[in-house]
Amino acid sequence: MNPAPSKFQLYLQLIRWDRPAGWLLLLWPSLSALWVAAGGFPGWHLLAVFVLGTILMRSAGCCVNDVADRDFDRHVKRTAQRPVTSGRVSVREALWLGAVLALAAFALVLTTNVATVVWSVPALAVALVYPYAKRFVSMPQAVLGVAFSFGVPMAFAAVHGGPAWSVFDAGAWRGFSLAAWWASVPPLAWLLLLGNLFWVLAYDTEYAMVDRDDDLKIGMKTSAITLGRWDVAVVMLSYAVFLGVWVLGLRHLVPGPVFYLGIAAAAAQAAWHFTMIRDRTREGCFKAFRLNHWVGFAVFAGVVGAYLLN
C-alpha cells in the first residue's frame, strides 16, 4: 500500500504542479505579446515577471476553481479525487493557499508600472468570476478565454505604460490618469486578445468534451454541451479564427517567413487535433487538450524567431 501523501504533496496536487500544460497555455500568448510590444526581447525583468506571475496566478486559480467546483467534481470521474473534493485539503486551506499565491503574483506586478498594476485588477476579477460562470453561462469557455488572454494587454501595459516604479513612490500616482491607463494598451492588444480567446474556446471545448456525460448529469453548463453535434466543427473554426486574427494583427509588425512558419506549425497541429477529437472519445479529446500548449509555443517561436532574424 502506498503511503498517504503529505500535506505539502496535496498542496502540489491542488495547484496541478505535475501538469504544467495549464500554465503553459497562459504563458505563450503572454510572452508573444510581450515580444511584440517590446519589438523584440523585452528584458530579463519583464520576462521573469510574466513567467513567474503566470505560474503563480494559474496555481491560485486552481485553488479557487477547486473550491467553487467541489460539490460538482465529486460526480465527475476525472476530478473526484482532487484534494479539496476528497476532503484531504480543507476549503479554508485552499483559499489561504490561493490568496498567498495571488499576493505573490501581485508583488511581482508591483515591480512594473502603475498602468500594469491597475490592469491587474480587472484581470483578477475575471479570473475569480470564471469558476462560477459555469453555473449560469451556456458558453463559460468564453469567460475563461478572457481570463486566459488578459496577459496580452498586461504585456503591452508593462512595456508602454511608463517606467518601472516603486510601490513606496507616491509621486508615481500623481501623474497617473485614466486616459494614460487606457492608452497603455493599444487596439492591437485587444485584437490579439480576441484572437487568443478563440484559441481558449477551442482547447477548453476539447477539455469539456471529456466530461460531457458527467456534466449533463449534474447540470453543468459547458460549450461541449451547448454546441452539441457542432462541437468539433466549432473547435476547428476557432483554431482558424485564432491563427487568422494573429496573422492579421501581426503581418506588418512581425515580418519574414519565420513567423509564418510558426503559424503553419500551429495550423498543422490543429489539423492533427481534428483526428483526435472527431470521434469524441475521452482519451482523444483529453490528449488534444493536453498537447495544446505546443500550438501556442509554435506561434511564440515564430514571433521570437522573426524578431531575431529581422
- 294: pLDDT strictly greater than 90: yes
pLDDT at 247: 97
Mean pLDDT of the region 170-183: 70
pLDDT per residue as tens digits for the range 95-136: 999 999 999 999 999 999 989 999 999 999 998 888 888 778
Mean pLDDT of the region 187-201: 97
**Amino acid at position 181, single letter:** W
End-to-end CA, the chain: 58
pLDDT per residue as tens digits for the range 215-225: 888 878 889 99
SS (H, E, C) the chain: CCCCCCHHHHHHHHCCCCCCHHHHHHHHHHHHHHHHHHCCCCCHHHHHHHHHHHHHHHHHHHHHHHHHCHHHHCCCCCCCCCCCCCCCCCHHHHHHHHHHHHHHHHHHHCCCCHHHHHHHHHHHHHHHHHHHHCCCCCCHHHHHHHHHHCHHHHHHHHHHCCCCCCCCCCHHHHCCCHHHHHHCCCHHHHHHHHHHHHHHHHHHHHHHHHCHHHHHHHCCCCHHHHHHHHHHHHHHHHHHHHHHHHHHHHCCCCCCHHHHHHHHHHHHHHHHHHHHHCCCCHHHHHHHHHCCHHHHHHHHHHHHHHHHHC
- Count other C-beta atoms under 10 Å from residue 136's C-beta: 9
Q: Which three cell numbers stand for residue 8?
A: 505539502
pLDDT at 174: 67
Q: Decide which of 240 and 166 is more confident.
A: 240
Assigned CATH for 7-309: 1.10.357.140
Residue at grid coordinates 526581447: 41
Q: What residue segments make up the domains of the chain, in order of their start? A: 7-309
Share of the chain above pLDDT 90, in %: 66
Average pLDDT of the chain? 90
Sorted by sequence, the CB contacts under 8 Å of residue 267 that are 6+ apart come out as 239, 243
Mean pLDDT of the region 43-71: 93
pLDDT at 166: 59
Q: Decide which of 249 and 76 is more confident.
A: 249
- 1: pLDDT strictly greater than 60: no
Q: Is 178 exposed, middle or buried (0-12, 13-18, 19+ CB in 10 A)?
A: exposed
Q: Is 125 exposed, middle or buried (0-12, 13-18, 19+ CB in 10 A)?
A: exposed
Question: Which of 181-190, 196-205, 210-219, 234-243 has the weakest average pLDDT?
Answer: 210-219
pLDDT band at 171 (very low <50, low <70, confident <90, very high): low
Q: Which three cell numbers stand for residue 123?
A: 484581470
Q: Decide which of 171 and 308 is more confident.
A: 308
- Count other C-beta atoms under 10 Å from residue 85's C-beta: 20
- 165: pLDDT strictly greater than 80: no
Dist. CA 309–CA 254, nearest whole Å = 10
> What distances in angstroms separate CA 213 from CA 114, 223, 236, 280, one per listed residue?
46, 13, 22, 11
Sorted by sequence, the CB contacts under 8 Å of residue 88 that are 6+ apart come out as 5, 10
pTM of the full predicted structure? 0.93
- 18: pLDDT strictly greater than 60: yes
pLDDT per residue as tens digits for the range 210-268: 988 888 888 788 899 999 999 999 999 999 999 999 999 999 998 789 999 999 999 99
pLDDT at 272: 97
Dist. CA 163–CA 138, nearest whole Å = 41
Share of the chain above pLDDT 70, in %: 95
pLDDT band at 184 (very low <50, low <70, confident <90, very high): confident
